[in-house]
Amino acid sequence: MMMKQNLDLIEGPKTRLSMHPKKFALWLFIGSVVMMFAAFTSAFIVRRAEGNWMDFEIPDIFWLNTGIVLLSSGTMHWAFTAAKRDDLETIKLALGITIILGFAFLTGQYISWGHLVDANVFFVGNPAGSFLYVLTGLHGFHIVTGITFLVVVLLNSIRYNVHAKNLVQIEMCTTYWHFLSGLWLYLFIFLLLNH
């Protein structure tokens, strides 16, 4: 009896923890982006402590952009829940709105750079400006990659390749877009506290 129990423990079925390879790759990518922004914000703090740092006001449009990015996260979640319900028209509508909001965010970033130039905050010169342009520019670049991902998912939804039985792509897109929204919130709060 004791021998049989020991054999069951040794030979029992093994539960495998698995993840779709594309999801795993996305999480690796997200991890690397987190490390990159952590390095830049750490360097920001260290360089600021050394002195020769220009204080300036964060452009007011950053507040609007924060609202836009939060709204876009909501519309992305709306698209994902619609996909789980096989509501194909809502998927397309919600993805389209999310893409428009992504472009609105990028437009806001461009306008904010204009406000910075008007306030004599430039990319070259004082490191405070350089860090601000690099942080917002890198985030903007990732928004462009997110919009590209959104367009791919939208095209696949038009071809009826996004539905309740095929959620991997829209789930990955949702994860990435929520990550970008969270990253902007982190950067915005960081800049508010450290400008």
pLDDT in tens, 130-166: 999 999 999 999 999 999 999 999 999 999 988 888 8
The domain made up of 61-195 is a member of CATH 1.20.120.80? yes
Given this model, what pLDDT does residue 15 score?
60
Map out the domains of the chain as residue ranges: 61-195
Percent of the chain predicted with pLDDT > 70:
91
Amino acid (one-letter) located at 193: L
Tell me which residue has tokens 């952590």.
38
pLDDT band at 107 (very low <50, low <70, confident <90, very high): very high
Given this model, what pLDDT does residue 195 score?
75
The DSSP secondary-structure symbol of 124 reads S
Whether the CB-CB separation of 83 and 164 falls below 8 Å is answered with yes
Amino acid (one-letter) located at 145: T
pLDDT in tens, 93-104: 999 999 999 999
Tell me which residue has tokens 């993840």.
19
Question: How many of the other CB atoms lie within 10 Å of CB of 135?
Answer: 17
Residue 180's nearest CA partner among 158, 149, 134 is 149
Please state the rounded mean pLDDT for residues 102-112: 97
Question: How many of the other CB atoms lie within 10 Å of CB of 61?
Answer: 18
Please state the rounded mean pLDDT for residues 84-112: 96
Q: Is the pLDDT of residue 48 over 60?
A: yes
